[in-house]
Amino acid sequence: MSFLKNITFTTIILCIFFCASLNVLAQSDVKKLEKKKEQLNEELKLTNQLLKETSSERKNSLNELTILEEQLTTREELLKTLKKQVVLVDDNIVRLQKDIEVKKKELEAEKKEYAKMINYAYRSRGSNSLLVFLLASESFNDAYRRLRYIKEYNDYRVNQVGKIQAQTDSVEAKINTLNEEKIEKENLAKEEEITKDKLLKEKKIKSVIVFDLQQKESELEDELDQKQVALSSLESEITSIIEAALKKKKAEEVAAEKAAIAAKRKAEKAAKKSKKSTPPKPAEVAKKTPEVDKLSTSFASNKGKLPWPVSQGIITGKFGTSEHSSVSNVKINNTGIDISTKKNSEVRAVFDGEVTNIIFSPVFQNAIIVKHGNYFSVYSNLKTVSVSKGEQIKTKQVIGTVSTAAGKTEVHFEIWKETTKLNPAYWLAKR
């Protein structure tokens, strides 16, 4: 019998623990979804502003379509998030309803138990039952025990009142929470409906833009050809600069090594000439720029954690060769990524480094190349520059502002490891 009681007690404890764990997990999911919803709404605010800026200068451009597609993707993600929130709220409502039923039953049981005590006390009110109970004691100790029993019984009655009040408060609190959850569900349903309407309108706008762009495909091809020429020109400049920097670095290492060997030989000759019994300690061969290796390692360890080159922006040009999702025969080979941002936005360095070069072209405007050991970050399409060649700069230091042309405000960003181009999207922190 004792064994069965232990099993029952253990089962109850496990059930309580399991339910509590589910509640904690549910609350955690709610917070995550709420945070994600806030983030998506911030992204939608940005894309809305970018669309206004773009459309005000140039109607139905390829850049406008790209931003709109990004907005549609974000809007669809928001819709999914809202649906998940509704499911969680529904689960909470069901759980609260069950909890309220359990609490009501417990409250009813407590009230019945208390009613019995009150009924007993009422029937005994006219008698001297308690006094008789005490006088019937056989000894002082027996009387003391009976007195303690009476006190404990009275305390129990007081405790029952407290328990009933606590149970009542608990039921009321859960009912209030349930009502709040129902209101939250109604709000989410409205928000979901509004999001669906906006999504539908944006898809219609996209259809109009796509149709318009398809009518002027040759014009788009010319525009993208110009961009490709700009990218090729920039890539050629960067390659030359990086190769020159690597060549200089190699020459410095060779020169340092030769100087160390010459110093060693000189020391050996001097030792022989003076006929010293113990040769002097040989000069150390210069290490290959240890500070460069250290900076390279530090930069590499921050892959996926680098700050964005602008405080607010969306990727509207992907790395590598790609064709537009909505307009056929529109392809481009991108050596980095393009980040659309607000007008006059500041451009920031993504890591500590040295400004190796600042170049200008009417095609890609100002471009800044920053060296991080064996890695290089490149920022082009800059209207202004606020650093100089050879300057040591810090992470997030402002290096210039973004240029706006043909309705586009975007910074072109690249990352190289020596002469190898890398996908910058993999290096920037997730938003």
Whether residues 65 and 186 fall in one domain: yes
Q: State the average pLDDT for the chain.
A: 77
Q: Last residue of some domain: 165, 186, 215?
A: 215
Q: How is residue 213 written in tokens?
A: 């762009």
Structural domain that includes position 209: 25-215
| Residues 375 and 399: beta-carbon distance below 8 Å | no
Whether residues 134 and 238 fall in one domain: no
120 vs 325 pLDDT, higher one:
120
Whether residues 259 and 318 fall in one domain: yes
301 vs 225 pLDDT, higher one:
301
With DSSP H G I counted as helix, E B as strand and the rest as coil, what are the percentages for the chain, rounded to 5?
A: 65, 15, 20
Within-domain flag for 387: yes
190 vs 290 pLDDT, higher one:
190
Helix axes 140-215, 217-273, angle to 10 degrees: 110
Query: How far apart are the C-alpha atoms of 103 and 327, rounded to whole Å?
Result: 61
- 396 pLDDT band, cuts 50/70/90, is very high
Residue 386 has pLDDT above 90, yes or no: yes
67 vs 286 pLDDT, higher one:
67
Per-residue pLDDT at 140: 65
Residue 422 has pLDDT above 90, yes or no: yes
116 vs 427 pLDDT, higher one:
427
Whether residues 305 and 366 fall in one domain: yes
Whether residues 247 and 389 fall in one domain: yes
Q: Last residue of some domain: 215, 236, 251?
A: 215
Q: Work out the number of other CB atoms within 10 angstroms of the CB of residue 403.
A: 20
Kindly report, residue by residue over 126-135, the tens digit of the pLDDT: 445 655 555 6
Whether residues 197 and 226 fall in one domain: no
Kindly report, residue by residue over 266-315, the tens digit of the pLDDT: 777 777 777 655 555 544 444 445 566 677 789 999 999 999 999 999 99
Within-domain flag for 9: no
Whether residues 138 and 260 fall in one domain: no
Within-domain flag for 384: yes
Q: Last residue of some domain: 191, 215, 239?
A: 215
Q: How is residue 417 written in tokens?
A: 């490891």
Count of structural domains, the chain:
2
| Residues 199 and 72: beta-carbon distance below 8 Å | yes
Return the CATH number at 205: 1.10.287
| Residues 327 and 220: beta-carbon distance below 8 Å | yes
Least confidently predicted of 15-24, 54-63, 97-106, 357-366: 15-24
Of the candidates 407, 201, 229, the one whose C-alpha atom is nearest the C-alpha of residue 316 is 407
335 vs 230 pLDDT, higher one:
335
pTM, full prediction: 0.61
Mean pLDDT to the nearest integer, 38-63: 71
Q: How is residue 277 written in tokens?
A: 């019994």
Whether residues 291 and 329 fall in one domain: yes
Whether residues 196 and 246 fall in one domain: no
Within-domain flag for 12: no
Return the CATH number at 321: 2.70.70.10
Per-residue pLDDT at 66: 81
Residue 154 has pLDDT above 50, yes or no: yes
Query: How far apart are the C-alpha atoms of 184 and 86, rounded to whole Å?
Result: 9
Whether residues 254 and 195 fall in one domain: no
Within-domain flag for 386: yes
123 vs 22 pLDDT, higher one:
123
Q: Which residues of 96-127 are buried (b: 16+ CB within 10 A; e: fewer)?
A: beebbeebbeebeebeeeeeeeeeeeeeeeee
Residue 81 has pLDDT above 80, yes or no: yes
Within-domain flag for 337: yes
Within-domain flag for 348: yes
Per-residue pLDDT at 391: 94
Whether residues 182 and 318 fall in one domain: no
Q: Which of 39-43, 168-172, 337-341 has the highest mean pLDDT?
A: 337-341
Per-residue pLDDT at 199: 84
Within-domain flag for 175: yes
Whether residues 201 and 253 fall in one domain: no
